[in-house]
Amino acid sequence: MFTLIRPVAALLMAVFAYYAAKAYEPLYDPQAYMGTFAAWTALMGLLVGWVFVGGRIGRAWWFSIYIGIQGVAMTGVFIAMVMAVREVFILGYRRRFREVMDAFTGYFDIVINWLGKAMDQDYLIFLATGGAVIGFALHLVWMLLERRRNDR
């Protein structure tokens, strides 16, 4: 059954993913122009919030916090995988990969490179705190929505 917690979770995850992407840009390269990276990250956060986080909120408050943190981590891995596909095509067109197997092994190297740059202590604390706050806030919203639905 469709519940209102899914769009709320998607919206919160998308907004947090946008701000997390803006905080990631200086870690990647302070001089680099990242283009629409923040918008793509917000889109992936929207997708993860709708599909994963929104469907699992409401069991217990500690589980909701755990799901919020797990959703933020999943968004990070998901966006690293999407950006690595983009980069593999760019490097393939520049003839840096001679064969398909080079592109395949290069893909995993690029994903690890994207995730490795995020291993900054302050950034990881920011992500974990944001995920915990999102999970707790979604649990509170879920309790309010369920109370209202059960009152009818």
Distances, alpha carbon 107 to alpha carbons 94, 97, 121, in Å: 15, 11, 25
pLDDT band at 132 (very low <50, low <70, confident <90, very high): very high
pTM of the model: 0.89
Tokens for 45, please give them: 């956060």
| pLDDT tens per residue across span 59-75 | 899 999 999 999 999 99
- Run of H or E residues at 10: helix 5-28
Residue 146's pLDDT band, with cuts at 50, 70 and 90, is: confident
Half-sphere exposure of residue 112: CA atoms within 13 angstroms, side-chain side: 5
Per-residue pLDDT, 99 = 86
What DSSP string runs through 63-120? HHHHHHHHHHHHHHHHHHHHHHHHHHHHHHHTT---SHHHHHHHHHHHHHHHHHTT--
Selected residue with higher pLDDT from 151 and 99: 99
Question: What percentage of the chain reaches a pLDDT higher than 90?
Answer: 68
Identify whether the C-beta of residue 90 lies closer than 8 Å to the C-beta of residue 37: no
Spatial separation of the C-alpha atoms in residues 105 and 45, rounded to whole Å: 26
